[in-house]
A and B are shown apart, each in its own frame.
Chain A
């Protein structure tokens, strides 16, 4: 198992806060990895404009950094800000950590008048090209390239990594922070295999094991969408499935659960949108996940969500108050993040639930699969 922690608040906070929650849940992971994803960014030494895409990754050598610069210059990206972590030596033992980078760029001039979709396509293309640039020699790792999203991934214990990168120093703060404390279980240790996974603004992290990984991966690759690559971890498909649901199928967020863990035929026979959902289940049957999984996700508008596998075999709890919420694997993690909440209002979702913390952060929204999907007129029984 591993442990997950997410905090979302109206007032930006340091990612170190979330690391303390990870520390509280320390018994649940083995220090084989840490992934952090931040949204709603603020930098101490730079007034960040949330329009600028941020490139996150690691240059393992000086040459790699030079190649990165050359690529960005050649494609017309103007460097606006280059965050420097106050590195502490001797903590991170992995070799080849020349430079962790978080860099804000201005999009090339040509994209000024382009649509949001065209811009996102370009950012994805650039991220994949940079990833490809480092693929052969393995000296450049790129996690994300998107406005207002920063990702840090490293091998080791969360607190140690936080110390090594001086994450406590309030140089970076964010309104949303996701953290996951372990690498994938079934495949080799690899920086790309650390959660959270990211594609075009959509990110998820998982506690669990997706045993239906291989057929789902094969199917996603078959879509021919350039971003559906990687798959160093079985959990990466959760991110891509969410992306597929929202971006390709143009379905509401509430449909995600119907795709990854559809209701049984018996339950659908009684469902007000049963016919539609049975059809959806059939056409998406290759996307049904399996095994124990708690999936926590975030969207570009800072919406946060939590869903469980169909048997609810992994723990997760959500709690908080107006303006400040957290989702963690264990109660002790939640206590570490938001001690001053009404604990009686904490919620542990069941198999049919999708828990959503909307961007306004006023209250939790809980959807049940047994209720009709909103805003789908064609889904009603004919």
Chain B
């Protein structure tokens, strides 16, 4: 046995790891490799490098006089075994390799590297969403109330469908008429497509991604006739967009860091049109009770200017708004203040993380005449940066929280007044229209999509087996969440816009394909819980829907 004593001190330490300890192992075929170096240069983690290695060939000529070894050199790709450079399985090496010589292979062994995500006393932070695979509860909901013989079936391809939803406070009919008769204020509302691009900030997203989305949204509105809107997230909005006619497709978000609001307030007098709405972020599903986080890697000069901060520093938003003393103070006053800032002509609504306290926030909103809705973000919501422990273990799934809030409104007879929007995990497994419509039938007026849009419109590589998920570090290999021009130049803004338009066209068709067999075409089937069921008795009971088996 060869003694390892001599190498022990340098190679074998408590935190020494080798390939089998990592979630991904690089498989490299030297017979195909041309040593072009594209894989090593594209790798966002510098997880591989081109290595020259010495090769010893002992001479074993038993009868000859010569003894000893001959030495040669070979070149090949070597995978790093340091945590900071561990392979994330993004597969960019494979994407650029001209000869199919390299690919990351998921390791099916247990990953000992999990125990070393705390090096230097740092806790593991990442982007993406809760790492839980398999069908979600939403995936399992079926639409089973089919009108066939009792109703001439609708034709999703030929009939006219109304699939828009209302964002903003809707007065009860008697109140509306009484205010009309007296010429009083009617709260502003917007007719929008029920699938909304949820809050992803200019900063979390690269300029090319953010502008590509906006370009796609404008195309959806102006060419396809789909009134899609997108939310800025907490990062402000480029001033030239604030003063452009595209502002009407944008929901401006204000969150606890108030980033970007200096620019927004200053731009108000010069605005050509009003924004679609104002979203006040109190919480998000990916990390309830925690504020936004833009890590220093991504605070470029541009981002710093937009947000009014110095470049290159971490930007952690506080978990709560500084004005927060009580729900009345925080929610009531902020909603009213923001409504007044825009002359009471823009719907203002809060976004909270799904939790057992959602109902108390909702009940407060019901009593606030300026509140224009509520977004509930479930545990499967994504984020650009958060502590892994928050993402995986903190929060509440969206379906039951949304349903409870909706039924609470129904009990009060106010389900048509405060529209509820659901977010968090919609389209997690690709079933975006099905997931969204299931939530709509549970009582949502619409849904917010974030991760799905990144995946569908820009080819985000992240998944719930923790592939990639390095949005926090600014090294996004597709250029979606990076602020490094070398990386985000990879992402063509026009192509993002094109993919976004394709995505919404397809959602629109699928929504109609779901509505037609249910005999619905005149209005979005909000709260049509008689149309859905699930093959899980406990879930059916909790959601007050049918148990199907």
A-B contact pairs, 25 of them (CB 8 A): A211-B518, A212-B520, A212-B522, A212-B528, A213-B530, A214-B527, A214-B530, A218-B527, A222-B415, A223-B413, A248-B174, A249-B174, A261-B522, A264-B162, A265-B191, A279-B176, A279-B186, A282-B176, A283-B173, A285-B170, A285-B523, A286-B416, A286-B526, A287-B173, A311-B154
Q: Does B239 interact with chain A (Cβ within 8 Å)?
A: no
Contact (Cβ within 8 A) B522 A310: yes
Most B-side CB within 10 Å, residue of A218, A244, A251: A218
In Å, the complex CA distance between A311 and B173 comes to 24
Q: Does B181 interact with chain A (Cβ within 8 Å)?
A: yes
Known: A279-B186, A286-B416, A311-B521. A291 touches B181 (CB 8 A): no
In Å, the complex CA distance between A215 and B413 comes to 11
Closest 5 CB pairs of A and B: A222-B413, A211-B519, A283-B176, A286-B416, A288-B523
Known: A215-B528, A282-B189, A310-B522. A378 touches B180 (CB 8 A): yes
Q: Does B493 interact with chain A (Cβ within 8 Å)?
A: no
Q: Mark B502-546, 1 if CB is under 8 A from A, else 0.
A: 000000000000000011111101111110000000000000000
In Å, the complex CA distance between A260 and B464 comes to 45
Contact (Cβ within 8 A) A222 B176: no
Known: A185-B150, A186-B150, A311-B159. A219 touches B416 (CB 8 A): yes
A270 to chain B, nearest CB (A): 16
Contact (Cβ within 8 A) B520 A290: yes
Contact (Cβ within 8 A) A219 B415: yes
Q: Mark B156-175, 1 if CB is under 8 A from A, else 0.
A: 00011010101000111111
Most B-side CB within 10 Å, residue of A186, A211, A219, A311: A211
Q: Mark A203-235, 1 if CB is under 8 A from B, else 0.
A: 000001101111100110111100000000000
Q: Does A50 interact with chain B (Cβ within 8 Å)?
A: no
Known: A218-B527, A219-B416, A265-B191. A283 touches B522 (CB 8 A): no
| B181 cross-chain contacts in A, Cβ below 8 A | 378
| B162 cross-chain contacts in A, Cβ below 8 A | 264
Known: A251-B177, A292-B152. A222 touches B414 (CB 8 A): yes
Known: A224-B413, A285-B166. A280 touches B176 (CB 8 A): yes
Q: Does A289 interact with chain B (Cβ within 8 Å)?
A: yes
B180 to chain A, nearest CB (A): 5
In Å, the complex CA distance between A214 and B415 comes to 13
Most B-side CB within 10 Å, residue of A213, A287, A292: A292
Q: Does A313 interact with chain B (Cβ within 8 Å)?
A: yes
| B527 cross-chain contacts in A, Cβ below 8 A | 214-215, 218
Q: Who on chain B is nearest to A220 by CB?
A: B413
In Å, the complex CA distance between A290 and B170 comes to 20
In Å, the complex CA distance between A379 and B176 comes to 12
| A81 cross-chain contacts in B, Cβ below 8 A | none
> Apart from A222-B410, A249-B174, A283-B172, what are 8 other A-B pairs with CB-CB below 8 Å?
A212-B520, A214-B530, A215-B527, A218-B527, A219-B416, A224-B413, A279-B186, A283-B175
| A208 cross-chain contacts in B, Cβ below 8 A | 151
Q: Mark A181-205, 1 if CB is under 8 A from B, else 0.
A: 0000110000000000000000000
Most B-side CB within 10 Å, residue of A212, A287, A310: A212
Q: Does A77 interact with chain B (Cβ within 8 Å)?
A: no
Most A-side CB within 10 Å, residue of B166, B173, B529: B173
| B519 cross-chain contacts in A, Cβ below 8 A | 209, 211, 290-292
Tier of interface size on chain A? 35 or more
Q: Which residues of A contact B (CB under 8 A)?
A: 185-186, 208-209, 211-215, 218-219, 221-224, 244, 248-251, 259, 261, 264-265, 276, 279-280, 282-292, 309-311, 313, 378-379
Contact (Cβ within 8 A) A283 B170: yes
Contacts between the two chains (Cβ within 8 Å), count: 111
In Å, the complex CA distance between A249 and B530 comes to 28
| B412 cross-chain contacts in A, Cβ below 8 A | 222
A379 to chain B, nearest CB (A): 7
B369 to chain A, nearest CB (A): 14
Known: A212-B523, A212-B525, A215-B528. A280 touches B413 (CB 8 A): no
| A223 cross-chain contacts in B, Cβ below 8 A | 413
Contact (Cβ within 8 A) B521 A214: no
Contact (Cβ within 8 A) A218 B177: no
Contact (Cβ within 8 A) A214 B528: yes
B106 to chain A, nearest CB (A): 45
| A292 cross-chain contacts in B, Cβ below 8 A | 151-152, 519
Contact (Cβ within 8 A) A290 B523: yes
Contact (Cβ within 8 A) B416 A291: no
Other-chain residue from B152, B176, B186, B529 in contact with A214 (beta carbon distance below 8 A): B529
Known: A222-B410, A222-B415. A280 touches B173 (CB 8 A): yes
In Å, the complex CA distance between A79 and B151 comes to 45
In Å, the complex CA distance between A313 and B166 comes to 27
Other-chain residue from A213, A282, A379 in contact with B166 (beta carbon distance below 8 A): A282
| B172 cross-chain contacts in A, Cβ below 8 A | 283
A156 to chain B, nearest CB (A): 21
| B523 cross-chain contacts in A, Cβ below 8 A | 212, 285, 288, 290
Contact (Cβ within 8 A) B152 A283: no
In Å, the complex CA distance between A309 and B154 comes to 13
Q: Does B147 interact with chain A (Cβ within 8 Å)?
A: yes
B11 to chain A, nearest CB (A): 67
Q: Who on chain A is nearest to B145 by CB?
A: A211
In Å, the complex CA distance between A256 and B186 comes to 22
In Å, the complex CA distance between A310 and B518 comes to 16
Q: Who on chain B is nearest to A186 by CB?
A: B150
Known: A214-B530, A279-B186. A290 touches B173 (CB 8 A): no
In Å, the complex CA distance between A359 and B164 comes to 40
| B191 cross-chain contacts in A, Cβ below 8 A | 265
Q: Does B183 interact with chain A (Cβ within 8 Å)?
A: yes
A47 to chain B, nearest CB (A): 42
Contact (Cβ within 8 A) B521 A290: yes
Contact (Cβ within 8 A) A291 B180: no
| B414 cross-chain contacts in A, Cβ below 8 A | 222
In Å, the complex CA distance between A8 and B52 comes to 100
| A378 cross-chain contacts in B, Cβ below 8 A | 180-181, 183
| B170 cross-chain contacts in A, Cβ below 8 A | 282-283, 285
In Å, the complex CA distance between A224 and B411 comes to 10
| B186 cross-chain contacts in A, Cβ below 8 A | 279
In Å, the complex CA distance between A292 and B147 comes to 11
Known: A211-B518, A249-B173, A310-B522. A285 touches B416 (CB 8 A): yes
Chain B, 396-454, CB within 8 A of any chain A CB: 410-416
A199 to chain B, nearest CB (A): 17
Chain B, 115-154, CB within 8 A of any chain A CB: 147, 150-152, 154
| B530 cross-chain contacts in A, Cβ below 8 A | 213-214
Q: Who on chain B is nearest to A289 by CB?
A: B522
In Å, the complex CA distance between A253 and B530 comes to 31
Other-chain residue from B151, B175, B176, B410 in contact with A218 (beta carbon distance below 8 A): B410
In Å, the complex CA distance between A212 and B162 comes to 14
Contact (Cβ within 8 A) A211 B177: no
In Å, the complex CA distance between A280 and B431 comes to 34
Other-chain residue from B152, B183, B521, B526 in contact with A215 (beta carbon distance below 8 A): B526
A256 to chain B, nearest CB (A): 12
A117 to chain B, nearest CB (A): 16
Q: Who on chain B is nearest to A288 by CB?
A: B523
B177 to chain A, nearest CB (A): 6
Chain B, 374-415, CB within 8 A of any chain A CB: 410-415
Contact (Cβ within 8 A) A291 B147: yes
In Å, the complex CA distance between A287 and B176 comes to 14
Q: Who on chain A is nearest to B159 by CB?
A: A311
| A215 cross-chain contacts in B, Cβ below 8 A | 415, 525-528
B417 to chain A, nearest CB (A): 9
Contact (Cβ within 8 A) A291 B166: no
Q: Who on chain B is nearest to A217 by CB?
A: B530
| B176 cross-chain contacts in A, Cβ below 8 A | 279-280, 282-283
Contact (Cβ within 8 A) B159 A276: no
Q: Who on chain A is nearest to B520 by CB?
A: A290
In Å, the complex CA distance between A290 and B526 comes to 12
